[in-house]
């Protein structure tokens, strides 16, 4: 006796196939299913549906009879799992495409064309935790900053703030584009790294917004953009290797930027400038944490990679040898902000504060380079070769 399914008045054009499919799932190929129902087109629709799915249908008798074909089984015969759901594979298969980690992937279909599919070239153990922290720490520029608190500053102090903000926005553009490119070429099997980079891109979008907004709070136009800074950022964008890009941007550039943002928070002449730099510094600390952890991971897996990191710094230094580095307008503005007044003694204090900032940046870079695996003397040498533009 064949199994029977009763569709009553339900047609195959309004979901009836779900009941047929469910009944067929329990049968082996060759098994028979009687389909009852009063829909006027039932036999016609069932014939077409069965042909498309490789089942045979017999229309003799009072109700159509389906003889199950082997196509369903064959469809999944060559299927493979996209790794294990709870485990990050050493190598992600391009044939897994964009499938969820651990999903059963039907054979066929185009392979995914991405450059970064090996765990040890993109991973850091801390990535899942950093992503969770990033997701929890997203802030809203509209409410996280009291935009009415800026007050009126003397014109030349406002000018300095506007110039520094203009410089920050330009650097944030590079900091947004670099992880966006890394992200676009990464196999999504490394989901936590993908999510973390996406959060990083969103962070930079906010930084662009708040720095722009502070620049234009009392002015119609931002300050200047110098050719030296642009040359420095260009060399960042030119780096196409995942780890080298992360190293140059996050370990060296954003690492130095955390010190710069803290400096600006400390010396801010108004609460808005303090708030936007403080909020950005918190996000940057996460970006640096991933860059350091990831680069250290790569070096642990392949100690020879240290020489590639070294070459990347030297190559960049060479490319920037004849450029101005930090624009004069920006370094002067930093001195003015740290001085807080135009008294010669205050300017001297501002000058010293900027010098201390540079040496704090240098110490930080040396510490991070040593953590990655460079001996202290090499760390000092490489830190000194870092771009004078800071980023
Ligand atoms: Fe940023
Ligand atoms: Fe960043």
How far is the centre of ligand 2, averaged over its atoms, from the C-alpha of 304 (Å)? 27
pLDDT number for residue 353: 98
Distance, CA of 67 to chain centre: 51
How far is the centre of ligand 1, averaged over its atoms, from the C-alpha of 240 (Å)? 20
User: Looking at the CA of 250, which ligand is closest?
Assistant: 2
Global pTM value? 0.92
How far is the centre of ligand 1, averaged over its atoms, from the C-alpha of 172 (Å)? 5
Listing DSSP states for 161-216 in one string gives HHHHHHHHHHHHHHHHHHHHHHHHTB-TTSHHHHHHHHHHHHHHHHHHHHHHHHHT
Q: How far apart are CA 333 and CA 161, in angstroms?
A: 7
Domain with CATH 1.10.620.20 in the chain: 119-384
How far is the centre of ligand 2, averaged over its atoms, from the C-alpha of 284 (Å)? 5
- Number of helices (H) and strands (E) in the chain: give both, helices first: 16, 6
HSE at residue 67, side-chain half, CA atoms within 13 A, is: 6
Judge contact between 342 and 271, C-beta under 8 A. Answer: no
How far is the centre of ligand 2, averaged over its atoms, from the C-alpha of 373 (Å)? 23
How far is the centre of ligand 1, averaged over its atoms, from the C-alpha of 35 (Å)? 63
| 33 closest CA partner among 59, 65, 9, 7 | 65
How far is the centre of ligand 2, averaged over its atoms, from the C-alpha of 257 (Å)? 8
How far is the centre of ligand 2, averaged over its atoms, from the C-alpha of 250 (Å)? 7
How far is the centre of ligand 1, averaged over its atoms, from the C-alpha of 207 (Å)? 5
Domain with CATH 3.30.110.40 in the chain: 3-73
How far is the centre of ligand 2, averaged over its atoms, from the C-alpha of 249 (Å)? 8
How far is the centre of ligand 1, averaged over its atoms, from the C-alpha of 280 (Å)? 6
Largest alpha-carbon pair distance within the chain? 106
Other C-beta atoms lying within 10 Å of the C-beta of residue 75: 14
Q: pLDDT tens digits for the chain (391 residues)?
A: 789 999 999 999 999 999 999 999 999 999 999 999 999 999 999 999 999 999 999 987 889 999 999 988 888 888 999 999 999 999 999 999 999 999 999 999 899 999 999 999 999 999 999 999 999 999 999 999 999 987 899 999 999 999 999 999 999 999 999 999 999 999 999 999 999 999 999 999 999 999 999 999 999 999 999 999 999 999 999 999 999 999 999 999 999 999 999 999 999 999 999 999 999 999 999 999 999 999 999 999 999 999 999 999 999 999 999 888 888 999 999 999 999 999 999 999 999 999 999 999 999 999 999 999 999 999 999 999 999 999 9
User: Looking at the CA of 254, which ligand is closest?
Assistant: 2
Judge contact between 364 and 292, C-beta under 8 A. Answer: no
How far is the centre of ligand 1, averaged over its atoms, from the C-alpha of 276 (Å)? 11
Residue with tokens 């935009």: 147
How far is the centre of ligand 1, averaged over its atoms, from the C-alpha of 168 (Å)? 8
User: Looking at the CA of 261, which ligand is closest?
Assistant: 1
User: Looking at the CA of 279, which ligand is closest?
Assistant: 1
How far is the centre of ligand 1, averaged over its atoms, from the C-alpha of 331 (Å)? 19
User: Looking at the CA of 168, which ligand is closest?
Assistant: 1
Judge contact between 157 and 337, C-beta under 8 A. Answer: yes
CATH architecture of residue range(s) 119-384: Orthogonal Bundle (1.10)
Token pair of 332, please? 């002067």
Q: How far apart are CA 91 and CA 190, in angstroms?
A: 10
How far the first Cα of the chain sits from its last, in Å, is 77
How far is the centre of ligand 1, averaged over its atoms, from the C-alpha of 285 (Å)? 10
pLDDT number for residue 323: 87
Residue with tokens 């205050």: 346
Q: What is the CATH T-level fold of the domain 3-73, as seen in this structure?
A: Translation Initiation Factor IF3 (3.30.110)
pLDDT number for residue 22: 96
How far is the centre of ligand 2, averaged over its atoms, from the C-alpha of 221 (Å)? 24
How far is the centre of ligand 1, averaged over its atoms, from the C-alpha of 281 (Å)? 8
Q: Which residues of 354-376 are buried (b: 16+ CB within 10 A; e: fewer)?
A: beebbebbbebbbebbeebbbee
Give the gyration radius of the chain's Cα atoms.
Answer: 30
User: Looking at the CA of 253, which ligand is closest?
Assistant: 2
How far is the centre of ligand 2, averaged over its atoms, from the C-alpha of 62 (Å)? 71
Question: At a CB cut-off of 8 Å and minimum separation 6, what does 111 contact?
Answer: 94, 95, 97
Token pair of 170, please? 């330009």
HSE at residue 93, side-chain half, CA atoms within 13 A, is: 16
3-class DSSP string for 177-188: HHHHHHHHCECC
- The three-class DSSP label of residue 379 is helix
Q: What angle do CA 316, 317, 321 make, to 5 degrees?
A: 120
Question: At a CB cut-off of 8 Å and minimum separation 6, what does 5 contact?
Answer: 19, 20, 22, 23, 33, 34, 35, 36
pLDDT number for residue 195: 98
Residue with tokens 């926005």: 169
């Amino acid at each position: 006796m064949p199994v029977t399914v009763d569709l009553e008045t339900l047609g195959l054009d309004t979901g009836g196939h779900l009941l047929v499919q469910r009944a067929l799932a329990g049968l082996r190929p060759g098994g028979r299913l009687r389909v009852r129902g009063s829909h006027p087109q039932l036999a016609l629709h069932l014939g077409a549906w069965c042909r498309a799915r490789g089942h045979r249908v017999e229309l003799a008798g009072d109700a159509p009879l389906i003889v199950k074909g082997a196509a369903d089984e064959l469809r999944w015969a060559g299927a493979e799992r996209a790794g294990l759901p709870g485990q990050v594979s050493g190598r992600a298969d391009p044939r897994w495409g964009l499938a969820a980690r651990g999903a059963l992937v039907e054979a066929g279909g185009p392979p995914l064309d991405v450059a970064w599919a090996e765990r040890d070239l993109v991973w850091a153990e801390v990535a899942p935790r950093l992503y969770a922290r990033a997701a929890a720490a997203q802030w809203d520029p509209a409410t996280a900053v009291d935009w009415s608190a800026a007050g009126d500053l003397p014109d030349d102090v406002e000018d300095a703030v506007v110039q520094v903000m203009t410089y920050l926005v330009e650097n944030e553009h590079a900091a947004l584009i670099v992880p966006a490119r890394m992200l676009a070429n990464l196999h999504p099997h490394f989901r936590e790294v993908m999510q973390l980079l996406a959060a990083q891109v969103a962070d930079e979008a906010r930084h662009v917004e708040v720095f722009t907004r502070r620049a234009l709070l009392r002015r119609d136009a931002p300050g200047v953009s110098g050719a030296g800074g642009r040359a420095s950022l260009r060399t960042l964008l030119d780096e196409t290797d995942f780890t080298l890009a992360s190293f140059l941007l996050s370990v060296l550039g954003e690492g130095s930027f955390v010190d710069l943002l803290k400096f600006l928070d400390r010396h801010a002449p108004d609460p808005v400038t303090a708030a936007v730099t403080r909020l950005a510094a918190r996000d940057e600390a996460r970006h640096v944490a991933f860059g350091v952890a990831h680069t250290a991971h790569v070096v642990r897996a392949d100690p020879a990679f240290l020489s590639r990191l070294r070459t990347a710094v030297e190559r960049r230094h060479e490319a920037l040898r004849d450029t101005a580095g930090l624009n004069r307008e920006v370094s002067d503005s930093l001195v003015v902000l740290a001085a807080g007044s135009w008294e010669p003694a205050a300017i001297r204090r501002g000058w010293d504060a900027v010098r201390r900032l540079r040496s704090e940046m240098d110490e930080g870079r040396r510490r991070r380079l040593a953590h990655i695996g460079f001996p202290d003397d090499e760390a000092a040498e490489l830190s000194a070769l870092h771009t004078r533009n800071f980023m």
